[in-house]
Amino acid sequence: MKSSIQKRLFRSFTMIIAFVVILFEMIVIIGIDQISYKNMERIMADNLDYAISSIRLRTESLDSVDIHDPRFRHFFDSDNAQVQIINDKGYVIFDSLGVLYTEKIIYPDITLAKEGTRGTWRGRVDYSDEQVMAMSAPIFNSTNQYIGTLRMVIGLSSLQAMQIKSVAIFISLGVFIVMVSLLMSNYFAKSFVKPLNNLKEVSEKIADGQFSIRSDIKTGDEIEHLSNSINYMAEELIKRDQLKNDFISSVSHELRTPLTSIKGWAITIQGGDNIDKKIVNEGLDIIVSEADRLSDMVEELLDFSRFTSGRVTLNKEQINVDDFLENIINQMKPRILGDDLVFVIDFADDLGDMVVDPDRMKQVFINVLDNAIKFTDSPGMISLGARKNALNELVFFVTDTGAGIPEDQINRVKEKFFKGNLGKSHTGLGLSISDEIINLHNGDLRIESQVGKGTTITIVVPSGLKEMSK
């Protein structure tokens, strides 16, 4: 038993079983002792009552007792018992064993008989080394006067021998039960520890990087639940490992292109003495553009890191929805129109206020509109709408007439680093971060799309006004 848990279980089982068996044995032994003596007392009492009733009906004094009377002769001639008749003075006037007494005999059972009740005593007598049980009963004459005591004395050696035999049988049975229980305890302890050892081995392999290892324990209890949890953990580690690899791959790929472009134009400008000013300006414009692109990617990566580590907190405040949307329109309208796209605005009149983190919400709308611009070719249309639903939630719509998303990719576009077939996304983090932001606002970001017809992104956000009032 190498496992400490197995040892503790075995010791616990052993202690419980031993305690129960010992307690049971003690109860049985005490019960045997009490029941055997009670049975003997009952038999003696029955015999005494029969003999006394016969004597009482036919005598006025002990002098007239005929011990040879066939009605109770068998009582005096018993081979298993010593019978004594004691007069009211305390002297033995008859002893079935022929023991001679010259003095009064005084025992607790005789004393009780003189007081008018039946008495029982266990101990040793002068004329024998055997322990005996004595029972005495008062004898009354026909006028209900005490005239003496009838006493029965029985040796206890045979009864005690029977008790010892019975106790030995029960002790042997108890030892057998304990031995069998110990074997079963050891078996159950092993059966309990075995799946735990399996889980230990699996977890050690997973910790060593073997994420494909799985536990196949089927016990139907908490251990199986733990096994399933470890398997789930392994799957999550695989996802996180893949996420890490995708992150490194995406960052490496996306940073390489703008850095190469910046470096190339910098070398061109630096090494040209008579380079045309128009080319210099073109190169500087590209350097600035690529630097902005790098800055955007770095911001997305920083946001991704914050969301992954759970360090994002919202700075909510109450803002006017119309003012917020107006700010978004002013920022995005030039880009939309510059790409020869039609920009349609459709707002309801009763939008009121909302409690949000304005910077984070602005990030969501700019990201969604930026995607719509990227994936919509001229001539095309982008529309921005806003309504309130029956639950007083704000519902925003961003619709485009762009390329659309294949059905098998719609459920994946919000995954981290997913870029789709067109590959126009820089890092594949924009929609994932936007979805995280909306979730932090207790809202929902839904995507509907048809290839070749366009995409609609619906953003549902609680107004949060009740929460702010509290």
Judge if 79 and 153 occupy the same domain: yes
Q: Mind listing the pLDDT tens digit for each residue in 404-452?
A: 888 888 877 877 666 655 555 555 677 888 888 899 899 999 999 988 8
Q: Is the peptide bond before 358 cis (omega within 30 degrees of 0)?
A: no
Q: What is the pLDDT of residue 201?
A: 82
Domain termination residue (choose one: 264, 288, 309) = 309
CATH number at residue 299: 1.10.287.130
Judge if 11 and 148 occupy the same domain: yes
Q: What is the pLDDT of residue 273?
A: 65
Q: Is residue 283 within 8 Å of 269, Cβ to Cβ?
A: yes
Domain-embedded: residue 393: yes
Q: What is the pLDDT of residue 438?
A: 92
Judge if 442 and 465 occupy the same domain: yes
Domain-embedded: residue 214: no
Element (H, E) at 396: strand 393-400
Q: Kindly give, in sequence order, each residue whose CB lies less than 8 Å from that of residue 424, ignoring residues fewer than 6 positions away.
A: 374, 375
The total of structural domains in the chain comes to 3
Judge if 303 and 323 occupy the same domain: no
Q: What is the pLDDT of residue 397?
A: 95
Judge if 279 and 345 occupy the same domain: no
Amino acid at 410: I
- pLDDT under 70: residue ranges of the chain: 1-4, 54-80, 243, 246-247, 250-251, 253-254, 257, 272-273, 300, 304-311, 416-428, 466-470
Q: What is the pLDDT of residue 194?
A: 77
Judge if 281 and 149 occupy the same domain: no
The domain of 130 spans 4-161
Q: What is the pLDDT of residue 103?
A: 84
Residue 123 pairs with which residues in a beta bridge? 132
Q: What is the pLDDT of residue 400?
A: 94
DSSP of 264-293, one letter per residue?
Answer: HHHHHHHH-SS--HHHHHHHHHHHHHHHHH
Phi-psi region at 90: left, alpha or beta (left = phi > 0; alpha = psi -120 to 50): left
Domain termination residue (choose one: 161, 182, 198) = 161
In 3D space, the residue among 464, 462, 458 whose CA is nearest the CA of residue 365 turns out to be 458
Q: What is the pLDDT of residue 170?
A: 82
Residue 354, helix vs strand vs coil: strand
Q: What is the pLDDT of residue 345?
A: 94
Domain-embedded: residue 194: no
Q: Kindly give, in sequence order, each residue whose CB lies less than 8 Å from that of residue 220, ignoring residues fewer than 6 positions away.
A: none
Q: Is residue 321 within 8 Å of 386, Cβ to Cβ?
A: yes
Q: What is the pLDDT of residue 67?
A: 58
Give the Cα separation of 444 and 56 in Å (integer): 105
Judge if 297 and 275 occupy the same domain: yes
Judge if 356 and 279 occupy the same domain: no
CATH number at residue 131: 3.30.450.20
Judge if 299 and 322 occupy the same domain: no
Give the Cα separation of 236 and 231 in Å (integer): 9
Q: What is the pLDDT of residue 129?
A: 79
Domain-embedded: residue 211: no
Q: Mind listing the pLDDT tens digit for each residue in 131-183?
A: 889 999 998 877 778 888 888 998 888 888 888 888 888 888 888 888 888 88
Domain-embedded: residue 329: yes
CATH number at residue 386: 3.30.565.10
Judge if 45 and 87 occupy the same domain: yes
Contacts 24+ apart (CB under 8 A), 80-83: 80/154, 80/155, 81/44, 81/47, 81/152, 81/153, 81/154, 82/132, 82/152, 82/153, 82/154, 83/150, 83/151, 83/152, 83/153
Q: Mind listing the pLDDT tens digit for each residue in 344-367?
A: 999 998 899 999 999 889 989 988
Tell me whether strands 380-388 and 341-347 are parallel, antiparallel or unpaired: parallel
Judge if 235 and 268 occupy the same domain: yes
Tokens representing 123? 């101990």
Q: What is the pLDDT of residue 469?
A: 56
Q: Kindly give, in sequence order, each residue whose CB lies less than 8 Å from that of residue 164, ignoring residues fewer than 6 positions away.
A: none
Name the phi and psi angles at 266, rounded to 5.
Answer: -65, -45
Give the Cα separation of 419 and 129 in Å (integer): 106
Domain termination residue (choose one: 247, 282, 309) = 309
Contacts 24+ apart (CB under 8 A), 195-199: 195/219, 195/223, 195/227, 196/3, 196/5, 196/223, 197/3, 199/223, 199/226, 199/227, 199/230
Domain-embedded: residue 30: yes
Provide the percentage of residues in the chain whose pLDDT is more than 70.
Answer: 84
Q: What is the pLDDT of residue 234?
A: 81
Judge if 237 and 385 occupy the same domain: no
In 3D space, the residue among 367, 371, 394 whose CA is nearest the CA of residue 382 turns out to be 371
